Structure 1
């Protein structure tokens, strides 16, 4: 009799976990792309003016949840002797599929795979992992944005850096964050790039320089093996570098800040 009680208690506990995870997936699915949930923003990539990409985390979490729920749907439909119905919903409609699966939570809790690990196809463990991913995506991170200066890209915005609340020293916290403009989110830099940008804005060199002088500046301040020929090749191969103007005599001038930040980002990716 005690064994039956233990088994009943085990099944009840597993059913509770199944129901809790399914409720979490159904309730939070619509918030996984919520623009009001602040997230640390990575430096923008792509051509200037292009739309920022859809964040990878929510896309992966949504797909994983939908795939899991569909697997459970077919498991129930194929193995549950008293289930003679099929789900009528879009394969990506997580709330609808979760609601259908929820009606069979007792059967799932009694399934041999209910208490197994994720690696062994455990039903509860996989549901809890999917629900935890939704919670992580929809929970605002603890911290605050710190204004660090005006946007340098001929923009009225202010650039701010994300400061996590649970990190170490201020210097350590600022080391890994992105600096993002509050008007144009594609105006973004890593902390090291912003530090270089601050130095660029603080020195005496003009922001627009001809190719020969800019190449000399890059060699001096960045120890970059760059000649004026490299600059002209970059303009031909990478349109985002080609932000040039002319002086009064008609000489083409390069945007020193833009070229320097592009060069730093490229060097970081190669490294």
Structure 2
């Protein structure tokens, strides 16, 4: 969870990464007359702004997409020259959709709870459908698009197993927002799907095993572990994206 000052962040109607991106842009603007000044590292920014590293990462990606900064491999975050003297805060404040880590945090909250509820209602038919989804994920001939479809189906089956229409609609909305997220697509291109597939398939098997036992606590933890693994891979994918970018 982000370490944020509620007075500064939680009362804002903007996404957290938008608020953080604006704070970083203000720092850049304040030092625009000093050519020797460099933007602090992500770790330093996280400490100064009192937010998590993923929130800083989302803010930097948003600034990249707005042409304010560029991440150049080991050179770090480089401030790009501007066509005008002032940073255009109207552009920075434009909502470009949910950030990938924001989405995963929401999925962690919703889908872990859904798995716990589903464990109390699981039947043999539901388990069979989940196992069929995993079997299709394990098919070596499956395309990335096909695997994404099967993964989504797996999670939606669990949402439906809760018997709660609100849980189903929230889960559907989160996945739809993920598919539409420009920031997610920017990072997802660098995810090593084949390399992480065995881990994620193992995660899915662990979720099903907990559901079979009707163990709500184990199901909650298995789902949470899976989504945290996805978040960790996403961080690593963004690191790879940065390292393959141009050097300073």
Task: Give the structure-1-normalised TM-score.
Answer: 0.25
User: Which fold has the larger relative contact order, with Cα–Cα distance below 8 Å and residues 6 or more apart in sequence?
Assistant: 2
More helix as a share of residues = 2
